[in-house]
A and B are shown apart, each in its own frame.
Chain A
Amino acid sequence: MKKFITGNHAVAEAVRLCRPDVVAAYPITPQTPIYEQLADWDSAGELGGTMVKVESEHSAMATCLSASLTGVRTFTATSSQGLALMHEMLHFAAGSRTAVVMAVVNRSLAAPWAFWSDQTDSLSQRDTGWLQLYCEDNQEALDTTIQAFKIAEELMLPVMVMLEANFISHFMEPTEVPEPDQVDEWLLPVNIPRRFDLSNPGFMNGVVSAKQYRDFRRLASDAMEHALTVVERVDKEYESTFGRSYGLVETVDCADAELVLVTTATITSTARVALASLRSKGIKVGLCKLRLFRPFPVKALRDVLDNAPRVAVIERNISIGREGIFCSEIKSALINSPGRPKIQGYLAGIGGTDVNTQLIEWVVQDAITREVFVDQPIWVDDAVLEGEAQ
């Protein structure tokens, strides 16, 4: 059934359809509407599982990972500072090989205090051992949330699904919400090991030796490597039932492109409009949307970018002291590319500032005519667009 809903509402719909046993979360703008919607359904007896009200995001993650160890389906959602507060428990959730699914509404980290879209919050959790998927619109946020439960429970690794503040969380769009029986058929009841037995309480995560620790890390790393296959397969299975799929990366017009623009999340959607306009002017530009960040789809990216003469990465996040985080990752993935593409990073939309078609077209024009590719990122803002300081 098609509904006119926000991205937050779409994620809540997805979660209810997946029949979680335990939802533990703490409200934080702009994620709060997910929490509120699930709480409304819980109080109306329509959620099915147990909604646990906790005193912080740290406790929310501790609750979800513990519940997952009892063999049940778990979900939480957060943003920004809430995710930062969870950080320690994220390592526990992944290291304990739980199947927690979490929606992260990407929001700027303090200080200074702000509420708008910025991906640095989730990208800062890169090394926690969670899978990370970045969504382009409300529909993808809904579909990816449903996929995430299947992926997490098969791999026994936790999965983060990212939707951006405002542009997805609070934008209302027509969104196809699948029928419950369709989802029931596609996503079977949870069947993961029950490692905690409440009637026979025990302790886990005792101290291990250095070699044991290394071996645990190796196993988690192998599982992440395998995740590339699982994410791709689950996406195809989803398509065969629901008619929509997204891939690890998606390409548009890359075959003959002199420049490939790499994007993630909502910038991709606006870039599709810019790309169509540039192509109509005869500019040979392609678009490569990166959807999966952990594990990083090196092969899928190399298939697209190995022989691209020029690559421009435009992104809404920054590792201060270096550059945009996706750009660094893409540079490292292409280090052995025979074609040695030139790569230029652009920072746009930091803090939720506007990334419109005019800005994207400026980036493409700059990258396609640029004589020198610089190691530092280029900040693109209103001043650049108005032809001022560069």
Chain B
Amino acid sequence: MLEIKISGRGGQGVVVAASTLGLSFFNAGMFPQCYSVYGGERRGAPVVGFLRVDTQKVLLKCEIRRPNSLIYMDESLFDAREVRSILKDGDTVLINTTRPLEKLGELRGLKVGLIDAARVSESAGLGKIINTTVLGAYCRLVGQPDLKCLLDALTEAITVKSQANRDSAQWAYESVKITEVA
């Protein structure tokens, strides 16, 4: 079972990212379960979204304590030591960053995706909206769900600037830098 944690800040669209990623897996015929945790309802406060994805109905109705896949929508929340203590070898982490891999700390054994989401979103005409861009990169990193399932979910769930969101997700899918750190 894939257990995903999405970390970001209030205003970055973490909740929509989690539910849209869930919808993408749903469109792919999987059984996703999705929830979000937000304490202070203000811009800038840390927000966390969670997903479980399985090939059969997810029965667990408890917190995800040890995710095996992480998404950081905000680089300031990323901490290499913490990530290494949560993930096992071969697990995946996607970071929205402008920094190169060697500047991010010790990530040996992990499959790491790096995306400069702000740049991609800007060129797609989305301004500072980066949540759907990050999802495009994530699909490529993990190999599922299919990009088409994500694009269909974006059409369904995102009604404002729908085409720009799809473009941005697709460009991120094509340009994400993926490294299996040896």
Q: A174 — which chain B residues lie within 8 A by C-beta?
A: 26, 31-32, 57
- Bound Cα distance from A174 to B57, whole angstroms: 8
Interface status of B96 (Cβ within 8 A of chain A): no
Contact B61 A170 (CB under 8 A): no
**A354 in contact with B58 given A4-B26, A170-B36, A172-B19 (CB within 8 Å):** no
Contact A172 B34 (CB under 8 A): yes
**A357 in contact with B63 given A166-B35, A170-B35, A173-B33 (CB within 8 Å):** no
Q: B26 — which chain A residues lie within 8 A by C-beta?
A: 4, 174
**Minimal beta-carbon separation of B154 from chain A (angstroms):** 14
Contact B65 A356 (CB under 8 A): yes
Contact A270 B62 (CB under 8 A): yes
**A137 in contact with B31 given A172-B19, A174-B26 (CB within 8 Å):** no
Contact B61 A172 (CB under 8 A): no
**Minimal beta-carbon separation of B50 from chain A (angstroms):** 10
Interface status of B136 (Cβ within 8 A of chain A): no
Q: A166 — which chain B residues lie within 8 A by C-beta?
A: 35
**Minimal beta-carbon separation of B3 from chain A (angstroms):** 12
The A contact surface, by secondary structure, is: mixed
- Bound Cα distance from A137 to B22, whole angstroms: 17
Contact A270 B61 (CB under 8 A): yes
Contact A272 B63 (CB under 8 A): no
Contact A357 B62 (CB under 8 A): yes
- Bound Cα distance from A289 to B123, whole angstroms: 54
**Minimal beta-carbon separation of B131 from chain A (angstroms):** 16
- Bound Cα distance from A143 to B158, whole angstroms: 29
Interface string of A264-298 (1 = CB under 8 A from B): 00110110110000000000000000000000000
Contact B58 A173 (CB under 8 A): yes
Contact B63 A171 (CB under 8 A): no
Contact-residue size bin, chain A (C-beta under 8 Å from the other chain): 20 to 34
**A270 in contact with B60 given A171-B33, A172-B22 (CB within 8 Å):** yes
Q: A167 — which chain B residues lie within 8 A by C-beta?
A: 61
Interface status of B23 (Cβ within 8 A of chain A): yes
**Those of A337-390 within 8 Å (CB) of chain B:** 354-357
- Bound Cα distance from A272 to B58, whole angstroms: 11
A137 partner, pick from B34, B61, B62, beta carbons under 8 A:
B61
Interface status of B160 (Cβ within 8 A of chain A): no
**Those of A235-286 within 8 Å (CB) of chain B:** 266-267, 269-270, 272-273
**Those of A71-97 within 8 Å (CB) of chain B:** none
- Bound Cα distance from A356 to B66, whole angstroms: 12
Interface status of B182 (Cβ within 8 A of chain A): no
**Minimal beta-carbon separation of B15 from chain A (angstroms):** 10
- Bound Cα distance from A235 to B8, whole angstroms: 43
Q: B31 — which chain A residues lie within 8 A by C-beta?
A: 173-174
Contact A171 B61 (CB under 8 A): yes
Residue of B32, B58, B59, B62 contacting most chain A CB atoms (<10 Å): B62
**Minimal beta-carbon separation of B27 from chain A (angstroms):** 8
**Minimal beta-carbon separation of A7 from chain B (angstroms):** 10
**Minimal beta-carbon separation of A216 from chain B (angstroms):** 40
A356 partner, pick from B19, B33, B62, beta carbons under 8 A:
B62
Q: B57 — which chain A residues lie within 8 A by C-beta?
A: 174
Contact A270 B35 (CB under 8 A): no
- Bound Cα distance from A273 to B32, whole angstroms: 17
Closest to A273 in B: B59
Contact A356 B63 (CB under 8 A): yes
Contact A172 B35 (CB under 8 A): yes
Contact B35 A273 (CB under 8 A): no
Q: List 30 A-B contacts (CB under 8 A).
A: A4-B19, A4-B22, A4-B23, A4-B32, A4-B34, A137-B61, A170-B36, A171-B34, A171-B35, A171-B61, A172-B22, A172-B33, A172-B34, A173-B31, A173-B32, A173-B33, A174-B31, A174-B32, A266-B61, A269-B59, A270-B59, A270-B62, A273-B60, A354-B62, A354-B63, A355-B62, A356-B60, A356-B63, A356-B65, A357-B60
Nearest 6 interchain pairs by C-beta: A266-B61, A4-B26, A356-B62, A172-B34, A167-B61, A354-B63
Question: In the complex, given contacts A172-B22, A354-B63, what are 9 additional A-B residue pairs having Cβ atoms less than 8 angstroms apart?
Answer: A4-B19, A4-B26, A170-B35, A171-B34, A171-B61, A172-B34, A173-B33, A270-B60, A356-B63
Residues of chain A at the chain B interface (Cβ within 8 Å): 4, 137, 166-168, 170-174, 266-267, 269-270, 272-273, 354-357
